[in-house]
Amino acid sequence: MTVAMQDTINTIRRFAADFRPSMGIVLGSGLGPLAEELQSPITIPYQAIPGLVSGHVSGHASLLVMGYLQDVPVVCLKGRLHRYEGVDVEAMRTLIRIVKYMGAEKLIITASAGSLREETGAGEMMLINDHINFQFNNPLVGPNDESIGPRFVSLENAYDRALNDIIKAQAAKLGYRLPEGVYISVVGPSFETPAEIRAFQMWGADAVGMSVVPEVIIARHCGLKVAAVVAITNLAVGLSSEKVTHEVTLRNAEIAGRKLTKLIVQSVKELNSAE
Q: What is the pLDDT of residues 183-202, one digit of tens each?
A: 999 999 999 999 999 999 99
Q: Output b/e per residue, 72-90; b: 16+ Cβ within 10 A.
A: bbbbbbbbbbbbebebebe
CA-CA distance, 74 to 72, in Å (whole number)?
6
CA-CA distance, 264 to 196, in Å (whole number)?
32
Average pLDDT, the chain: 92
The residues, any chain, with a CB within 8 Å of residue 147's CB and separated by 6 or more, are 1, 2
Residues in the chain: 275
Torsion sign, CA atoms 140, 145, 146, 148:
negative
The HSE-up count of residue 72 (CA atoms within 13 Å, CB side) is 24
Q: What is the tens place of the pLDDT at every residue in 128-155?
A: 999 999 999 999 999 999 999 999 999 9
Percentage of the chain modeled with pLDDT above 90: 77
Q: In the chain, what are the domain boundaries?
A: 3-273
32-41, 134-143, 153-162, 249-258: segment of lowest average pLDDT: 249-258
The HSE-up count of residue 121 (CA atoms within 13 Å, CB side) is 6
Q: Would you tell me how many other CB atoms lie within 10 Å of the CB of residue 154?
A: 8
Are 163 and 274 in contact by the 8 Å Cβ rule? The answer is yes
Q: What is the tens place of the pLDDT at every residue in 82-123?
A: 998 888 899 999 999 999 999 999 999 999 999 999 999 989
pLDDT at 256: 84
Torsion over CA of 45, 18, 273 and 175, rounded to 10 degrees?
-40
| CATH tag for 3-273 (out of 2.60.40.3710, 3.30.70.20, 3.30.830.10, 3.40.50.1580) | 3.40.50.1580
Torsion sign, CA atoms 118, 122, 127, 133:
positive
Q: What is the tens place of the pLDDT at every residue in 5-31?
A: 899 999 999 999 999 999 999 998 767
Q: What radius of gyration, in Å, describes the C-alpha atoms of the chain?
A: 17
Burial class (CB in 10 A: 0-12, 13-18, 19+), 101: middle
